[in-house]
Structure 1
Amino acid sequence: MPTPPAGSPRLSAKQQRAADREAKLAEFRRQEARRKRNRRIAIGSGIVAIVAVVGLLVAAFVLAPKPATYSAGGSGAEIDGVETFDNASAHVQGAVDYPQTPPTGGEHNPVWLNCGVYTEPVPNENAVHSLEHGAVWVTYDPSLADAELEALRAKLPSTYVILSPFDGLPSPIVLSGWNTQLQVDDADDARIAEFLEEYWKSDLVPEPGALCTGGVDAPGRA
């Protein structure tokens, strides 16, 4: 029991118990107030952290590069430099000797190449089958600078396109559709987007609307 200060009237046992209860209650209230304050601080910090994370995710989504978009089919627009050919469509086994580099059509493997980005050369015979389905095959010289390659990728749609290196190209970048082809010197050429707008998912291919997935992958699929 606490000793009362000198000169203070001595408390009775009942009064002392009441004083002790009051002291304990006051201490409990102080501790409870401290706990509530700490909870508020913790909740506030958690909300700030959640808002920061959400903000980062939103910023990442907004700032992330988006695939370019094009309208399926073409309008018959004439694009300077585009060559057209007259290759027939037929399924064959084995290697094919194509008249164009890269091929733009002709005999091809019965299984198409899955569209996407490849870091190694892909089989001509499978890629040509993808052209038959309306895909565009974008090939580049293996020595193309990384910055140029990134600029080229930024112009490509997310589907129905094959991007791959190709040895012995007639120009640094070549875009091929079914029986159509465009050669350009760099990724800044405005005709790249024009070619894709005209020939991507063209309805003038032998098998318009056929899948560009569910076929085979080649080595180097990114």
Structure 2
Amino acid sequence: MSEKPQGSVKERLSALKARQRRAELRRQIVVMGAVVGAAGTLIVGVVVFVSTERSRSSLEEVQTFTVTQRNHTNDPVKYPQTPPVGGDHAPEWQNCGVYTAPVRSENVVHSQEHGAVWVAYRPDLPKAQQDVLLDQVRNQDFVVLSPYADLPSPVVLSSWGKQLKLDSPDDPRLTAFLRANINGPGTPEPGAPCTGGVGEPVA
């Protein structure tokens, strides 16, 4: 009769340990599920962020134009794009740099022929955004930065045969466009000078 309680105690201990093992297993499963769920959420977030940044910095929206004329002329030229992306132009090129007043299109087109990118902005662009543009182009040798009336967008980037319209000067595509199109593959006279022409840039 004395062994019965011991047997029941052992059984109770065994059952208690089994319940503890099951509880611990359930806890581990819950923790693992939470970790896997958090990791999955993080991965999805990273993928969305990367794809969003990649789309923002891509140049898929760049317009391409076929430019067939590039003769020198002293006459005003009516260009089909605003600003122009090439065509007949003045014999003197515009010195690359920063301008606070509008510059003559015919001279800048000659600079584009030499590989320059024209960064044009609306004259009423807030000063803070103009400063962002200045920071973006400050160390670029083949860039003309200037105000331009009646732009279709706050900022327009134009090289020979290429154009990209931007709503904001801090759009990462600005840097991507400069990298791709300064002396880019469509440049008629890559490496030709962007100094020694006309105009006195302020920077």
Which residue number corresponds to residue 143 of structure 1?
124
Structure label with greater radius of gyration? 1
2:145 to 157, 163, 171: 163
1:21 maps to none
Unaligned runs of 5+ in 1: 1-76
2:136 counterpart SS class: coil
Task: Please say if 1:189 is aligned against 2:171.
Answer: yes
SS at match of 1:86: coil
Please tell me whether residue 207 in structure 1 is matched to residue 178 in structure 2: no
CA deviation map 1:94-137 (0-9, x unaligned): 10000000000000001101001111110000000000000000
Secondary structure at the aligned position of 1:205 is classed as: coil
Match status 1:120 vs 2:104: no
How many pairs are equivalent? 144
Report the equivalent of 1:64. none
User: Which of 77, 84, 88 lines up with 1:96 in the alignment?
Assistant: 77
Q: Deviation of residue 78 (structure 1)?
A: 6.4
Q: Which runs of 5+ in 2 are unaligned?
A: 1-56
Q: Which runs of 4+ in 1 moved over 6 A?
A: none
Structure 2 letter corresponding to 1:211: P
Counterparts in 2 of 1:203 and 1:81: CA distance versus 1, 3 Å = closer
2:61 corresponds to: 81
State the distance in 1 between where 2:146 and 2:84 align: 13
Alpha-carbon contact 2:103-2:146 (below 8 Å) kept: yes
* 2:59–2:176 contact (8 Å) kept in structure 1: yes
**Structure 2 residue 155 is the aligned partner of structure 1 residue 178:** no
Q: Deviations over 1:72-92 (max 9, x none)?
A: xxxxx9612100101121111
TM-score, length-scaled by structure 2:
0.68
Q: What's the RMSD between the two structures over aligned residues?
A: 1.5
TM-score (normalizing by structure 1)? 0.62
The CA deviation at 1:203 is 4.0
Equivalent position SS for 1:126? helix
**1:181 and 1:155 mapped to 2: Cα distance?**
17
Q: Alpha-carbon deviation of 1:204?
A: 2.6
The more displaced of 199-208 and 102-111 is 199-208
> Is the 1:134–1:203 Cα contact (8 Å) retained in structure 2?
no
More displaced, 128-137 or 83-92? 83-92
